[in-house]
Amino acid sequence: MAFNPKEIATMLEEYKKENKVDMKIEKLSEEIYKYTSGYPFLVSKVCKVIDEKLPVESERWSIQGIEQAVKIILKENSTLFESLIKNLENDEELYNVIYNIIVAGRRIVFNIHNPIQSRAMMYGIIKESANEKVKIHNIIFEKIIYNYMISKRETS
């Protein structure tokens, strides 16, 4: 399940009405979608961080506010990120494929019948891109995994 930009916009509209906040809903919903691909937990997390962790005097509900929220999220630990990394660590084949995509920059043809890709889809790590290649599900996951893999490589 994933939210599309229109569904994100509906949630932002409700927030705007309840909190009497000025925001450009269409642009913000597209930007949130850009980072999360509509992953429900991440959509909610971005909004929660903007609402609770960004200074009130700043222009929180803006493109810059979303970027700041994503930076904060990338530095936090959560059960979602722990599970993401655990799934990679517990499956060497999956780890290697994701490493090749994210770190080595390989382009891999998407095939749901490939057992490794099927597991990665089940874990929510990948999806099919518009050009029928394997794509990491969202920018936040891609950054979390990339940072983890680079850090792991640097310390081994």
| 83 in the same domain as 63 | no
CA dihedral 103, 77, 81, 52 (to 10 degrees): -110
| 23 in the same domain as 65 | yes
CB 59 within 8 A of CB 68: no
pTM over 0.75: yes
CB atoms within 10 A of CB 53: 13
| 149 in the same domain as 95 | yes
| 55 in the same domain as 9 | yes
CB 138 within 8 A of CB 74: no
| 149 in the same domain as 86 | yes
What tokens were used for 60? 């929180």
Ordered per-residue pLDDT tens for the chain, 156 residues: 799 999 999 999 999 999 998 899 999 999 999 999 999 999 999 999 999 999 987 789 999 999 999 999 999 999 999 999 999 999 999 999 999 999 999 999 999 999 999 999 999 999 999 999 999 999 999 999 999 999 999 998
